[in-house]
Amino acid sequence: MKAWTLFLAGFAFLLPGLLSAQNDAPKAPQWGWQKEATATLNLTQSTFDNYAQGGENSTAWQFRIGLKFVNDREKYNWANTGKLEYGRNKTGEDEFKKSVDELKIESVLTFKMSKYVNPYAAITAESQFAAGYDYSQTPKVEISNFLDPGYFREAIGAGYKPNDIILFRLGAALKQTVTRNFNNYSDDPETEAVEKIRNEVGVEGVIDFNYKISETSLIKSKVELFSNMKAFDEIDVIWDTDLTAKITKFIAFNFNVKLLYDKDISPKRQLKQVMGIGVSYSLF
């Protein structure tokens, strides 16, 4: 229920911007491909030697690439987005440990049949690059890896886009959870066999919010909901929010909060927060 509380609070915060955006004058359409690719590198390092106040040496780095390729035509819109993020940190005598690790790709094809509500077909894939470990045990225990698990979702439905800032999608969906070695993510405990692939049929709902706060700052927030229609507390929630602010041409501030809830993985909500200042460069 905490996930739903956070979602409603965030939506209430964003609502004034949505209402004011509807009054903006419409812009003339620009058909064709729109391409965006931004690479960001954040670095942090500290060293202490005979320092009276104490402290521990630390090193951290994070690398991120954001991709967006949109082919907007008079009859359809084909939007492709990607998020590639990886980082490691080291404190004291500990080994380098993974801090962030995400690989996500989405492709949405929307057919323009009316001014606001239009049918769509979407494919989403999400996983990680490297192995993940549980460091609470000695020695450390590997608990995940590339496509282990991997999450895939296909959906068809209708989308509602009142303006250029917000988009709602609702449709029938299929979800697959695939594994190789860590079958606890995909296995059905009610059967004797060990399943490496879990298939679910249900409904997806997506709220996609993109708001340009100023010429140098942008907020992106996306809520993805999936329900297998079995129980209310089994609704999967992914809420990913990014705030980016350009300080100079090549220096940017980044703040990310990602909230997850999937009862098949954990009965409690999962939360990740990453903040950094580093070098940012637009590839094109």
pLDDT score recorded for residue 50: 86
CB 242 within 8 A of CB 222: no
Under DSSP, the state recorded for 183 is: G
Mean pLDDT of the chain: 90
Q: CB within 8 A of 200, min separation 6: which ones?
A: 174, 175, 176, 177, 226, 228
Neighbouring-strand partners of residue 69: 35, 80
Amino acid at site 266: S
Percent of the chain with pLDDT over 90: 75
Q: What share of the chain is helix, strand, coil (3-state, %, to 5)?
A: 10, 60, 30
Q: Which long-range contacts (CB under 8 A, 24 or more apart) does 20-26 make?
A: 21/163, 21/164, 21/165, 21/166, 21/211, 22/162, 22/163, 24/163
Averaged pLDDT for residues 246-256: 93
Least confident interval from 119-123, 152-156, 248-252: 248-252
Measured between alpha carbons, how far is residue 143 from residues 98, 149, 187 in Å? 13, 10, 15
Question: What whole-number distance in Å separates Cα of residue 97 and Cα of residue 58?
Answer: 12
The structure's pTM equals 0.85
Q: What percent of the chain has a predicted confidence (pLDDT) above 70? A: 90
Write out pLDDT tens, residues 81-127. 999 999 999 999 899 999 999 999 999 999 999 988 999 999 999 99
Report the topology of domain 2-18+31-282. Outer membrane phospholipase (ompla); Chain C (2.40.230)
Q: In this predicted structure, what is the pLDDT of residue 264? A: 83
- Predicted local distance difference test score (pLDDT) of residue 15: 53
End-to-end CA distance of the chain: 41
Instruction: Please work out, in degrees rounded to the nearest 5, the angle formed at the alpha carbon of residue 140 by the alpha carbons of 139 and 141.
Output: 115
Ordered by start, the domain boundaries in the chain are 2-18+31-282
Question: How do residues 1-48 score in pLDDT, each as one tens digit?
Answer: 454 555 455 545 555 555 554 555 556 667 899 999 999 999 999 999
232 pLDDT above the threshold of 70: yes
| Per-residue pLDDT at 67 exceeds 60 | yes
Q: Which long-range contacts (CB under 8 A, 24 or more apart) does 40-44 make?
A: 40/64, 40/65, 40/66, 40/252, 40/254, 40/278, 40/279, 40/280, 40/281, 41/278, 41/279, 42/87, 42/254, 42/276, 42/277, 42/278, 42/279, 43/278, 44/89, 44/276
Q: How far apart are CA 167 and CA 208, in angstroms?
A: 5
Q: What is the pLDDT averaged over residues 263-284? A: 90
79, pLDDT greater than 50: yes
Reported as a single tens digit per residue, the pLDDT across 166-205 is 999 999 999 999 999 999 999 988 888 999 999 999 999 9
Dihedrals phi, psi of 241, to nearest 5 degrees: -125, 130
42 close to 71: Cβ distance less than 8 angstroms = no
